[in-house]
Chain A
């Protein structure tokens, strides 16, 4: 993978390189170079399959991380391109014309994280949630427990136990 990284470095201002396994690595690069880099990897390096497009919410850094994972079937190796975006008013260029499946991922990211992909087909249609009226639920500033308690009727009497201490108490009563 290091040879591939050197070839990428010659073409794009790529940043940090993480080699997870001998056939899986991640590269960070600026959003403006994502499209040429994807095209290069797809057409020149044989990474023809978009495995997934996903996001991570780095709320402490005020950033979203988009990960475009590509696979090269012939050589059995994967590369992930990471793009860091500001968390406020996140807009990213759509890549649905490179891989049509990306449109579905982008639709999901817009709904679950609020990352906007203008021009992506159907990106403003509801994907999984229906009638959602709060901030996107996968954002880390969304308080899931609070929302669940506010929105849904709860049955009283539910209690939560720590499994380890509870099983100790059950199996060996009287022993510290």
Chain B
């Protein structure tokens, strides 16, 4: 006997009409993915340079890294977030979700499969946001230069603000890289998110060239 699949769904997951706090009734489908696929827009600086400089100073003090390890470089994050190298004393910490992070560290090689997740993670992060490419693999493919499954040049797909060389870069190199990133932010040069918004179609075309089964919205907040 065939039964309606909706029969098994809990009542709170059924599509229904809800009355909002402002008294307007609207339809809700709890099982549908809600997203805004409007392309990102360029965020202009504050009207006064001194205010923007103050903002940038504040931004540089709070680098919150998304805890997302893409390759072997993620192993260098562990000594960095523990007392041995203790990146927290520089105002750097790791967050479990893209919504709370503003720095995406692409830690090593990026297969096309992971690239898809990295793009989703990056697009879900809120402005201001920065990307750091870590290790040779993100720069020119590194030891995966002839691999059929890894990208060779990260800045074709995501707006990279800073590369840290090495294979692998030691935690000291990462700390130095974060200090350099802070200098860039304070100087107002870490404009990766705006570059992404300006060249959005170019980035999307590059991404879709390597991700053959594109099954997500073009932009997902």
CA distance A137 to B111 in the complex (A): 14
Whether the Cβ atoms of A152 and B140 lie closer than 8 Å is: no
Question: With A137-B148, A144-B148, A152-B152 known to touch, is A132 a contact of B212 (CB < 8 Å)?
Answer: yes
Partner of A137, one of B113, B149, B152: B149
A128–B139 alpha-carbon span in the complex (Å): 24
Q: Which residue of A lies closest to B152 (CB)?
A: A152
Q: Name the distance in Å between B168's Cβ and chain A's nearest Cβ.
A: 19
CA distance A114 to B214 in the complex (A): 23
A12 in the interface, Cβ–Cβ < 8 Å?
no
CB pair A158 B149 closer than 8 Å? no
Complex alpha-carbon distance, A137 and B112, angstroms = 14
A142 to B139: give the CA distance in the assembly, Å: 25
B22 within 8 A of A: no
Chain A contacts of B213 at CB under 8 A?
Answer: 130-131
Query: Considering only CB atoms, which chain A residue lies closest to B147 in the complex?
Result: A148
Q: For the complex, give the distance between the alpha carbons of A5 and B70 in Å.
A: 47
Given A130-B112, A147-B148, A158-B140, A152 contacting B153 (CB threshold 8 A): yes
Pairwise interchain contact B113-A152, C-beta atoms closer than 8 A = no
Nearest B residue to A149 via CB reads: B146
Chain A proximity of B15: nearest CB distance (Å)? 30
Closest beta carbon of chain B to A23's beta carbon, Å: 34
A3 within 8 A of B: no
A32 within 8 A of B: no
A151 at the interface (CB under 8 A from B): yes
How many of A's residues come within 8 Å of B, CB to CB?
A: 20
Check: A133 CB closer than 8 A to any chain B CB.
Answer: yes
| Closest residue of A by beta carbon distance from B214 | A131
The answer to whether A148 and B148 touch across the interface, beta carbons within 8 angstroms, is yes
Q: Please measure, in the bound complex, the distance between the C-alpha atom of A147 and the C-alpha atom of B150, giving whole angstroms.
A: 11
Q: Is the pair A152, B212 in contact by a Cβ cutoff of 8 Å?
A: no
Q: Would A148 and B212 be within 8 Å (CB), given that A154-B140, A158-B145 are in contact?
A: no
Q: Which of A129, A131, A145 meets B146, CB within 8 Å?
A: A145
Scoring B residues 194 to 221 as 1 if CB is less than 8 Å from chain A, else 0, what string do you get?
0000000000001001111110000000
List, in ascending order, chain A residues with CB within 8 A of B153's CB. 152-155
B108 is an interface residue with CB less than 8 A from chain A:
no
Give the CA-CA distance A154 to B113 in the complex, in Å.
18
Which residues from chain B contact A145 at a C-beta distance below 8 Å? Answer: 146
Q: Across the two chains, which residue of chain A brings its CB closest to B155?
A: A155
A145-B146, A154-B152, A158-B145 given; A131·B140 CB < 8 A: no
Residues of B within 8 A of A155 (CB): 139-141, 152-153
CA distance A151 to B112 in the complex (A): 11
Q: Name the residue of chain B whose CB is nearest to the CB of A148.
A: B146
Residues of chain A at the chain B interface (Cβ within 8 Å): 128-134, 137, 142, 144-145, 147-148, 151-155, 157-158
